[in-house]
Amino acid sequence: MSDKPSPYSLEGKLVLVTGAGTGIGRGVALELARQGADVALHYAASTQGAQEAAEQIRALGRRATAIQGDLGVVADCRRVVDEAAAFLDGLDALVSNAGVTLTLDFFEVTEDHYNRVYNLNARGEFFCTQQAVKHILARGEALRRQFPDRVWAGGTIVTVSSVHGLVGRPGHSVYAGTKGAINAFTRELAVELSPLHIRLNAVAPGTIEVPSYWKIDPDYSREAANKTVPWGRVGLPQDVGYLTAFLVSDASEFMTGQVLYFDGGLTAKMALDGFPCPG
């Protein structure tokens, strides 16, 4: 019987998840740990959420730490990645989830609005990835030495995009632009890093119920939101965790450069309710 682990297992994987103090990032970090990974959780302001999630992960018998940083600042991007790698003793994967949304009329967008969203969503993504790749390559060399008879399945970067990178909705001129940039960055860098055996894929969620929904709209209800999704329900952070766990696992070794729309059929649906179907 082979002692090689299942390609779906995350046992022994060392992962940094950014923006993991709340919402999708927290759900992803917890699911990765349930699947066997040790996790460093980055957070910006959600101190309590990140620390509680780290405690939950440690209760599962996995290693975890919470690291604060403003990823809109390049120096913090590098520091957070380095601290995560130092705590975990390396990096197999980066889940680059940190980001900020903005819903604002195009004519009301200021230079400060633009810079704040792009500095975190696009620039932060770039420099966290740049720093993480260095650690992932070092980890690959260490694994080759430790298991000379096994082929290294490679490292992985999972970027978090959005359906807004594909379809339009009023008020998202800045936010959608950053997600389109993430999609292009993911595809391009997947090609550039393939010779180094590092794969990149983007998860592009649709309606994923997170705590900020109630902050934006106190009258938000899941029942009403469920009716807007063809599949019949909104997504939850753990749903994104399931897909991300696959992308981090060795089972996804042949997949790179893909943008995976994870939206219950939202982007597949023609937005012409109440009108005759053309053609």
In a domain, 31, yes or no: yes
Q: Which domain holds residue 216?
A: 14-260
Q: Which tokens hold the place of 263?
A: 């939206």
pLDDT of residue 47: 95
In a domain, 95, yes or no: yes
In a domain, 274, yes or no: no
In a domain, 5, yes or no: no
Q: Could you give the number of structural domains in the chain?
A: 1
Q: Which of 255, 251, 235 is nearest to 28 (CA)?
A: 235
Q: Which tokens hold the place of 149?
A: 């008879």
In a domain, 89, yes or no: yes
pLDDT in tens, 36-89: 999 999 999 999 999 999 999 999 999 999 999 999 999 999 999 999 999 999
In a domain, 22, yes or no: yes
pLDDT of residue 260: 97
Q: Which tokens hold the place of 100?
A: 């900020």
CA-based torsion, 252, 257, 262, 267: positive or negative: negative
**Helical (H) or strand (E) element with 200:** strand 198-205
In a domain, 279, yes or no: no
Catalytic residue positions, numbered? 161-162, 175, 179
DSSP state of 4: P
Written as one string, the DSSP assignment of 33-95 is: HHTT-EEEEEESS-HHHHHHHHHHHHHTT--EEEEE--TTSHHHHHHHHHHHHHHHTS-SEEE
C-alpha distances (whole Å) from 259 to each of 20, 57, 90, 190, 262 are 21, 28, 26, 11, 9
In contact, 27 and 238? CB cutoff 8 Å = yes
pLDDT in tens, 89-139: 999 999 999 999 999 999 999 999 999 999 999 999 999 999 999 999 999
pLDDT in tens, 151-187: 999 999 999 999 998 988 888 999 999 999 999 999 9
Identify the CATH number of the domain in which residue 210 sits: 3.40.50.720
pTM: 0.92
* Secondary structure, 3-state, 110-122: CHHHHHHHHHHHH
pLDDT in tens, 185-221: 999 999 999 999 999 999 999 988 888 777 777 888 8
In contact, 33 and 248? CB cutoff 8 Å = no
In a domain, 133, yes or no: yes
How far is Cα 89 from Cα 86, in angstroms, rounded to an integer? Answer: 5
What is the share, in percent, of the chain residues with pLDDT greater than 90? 81
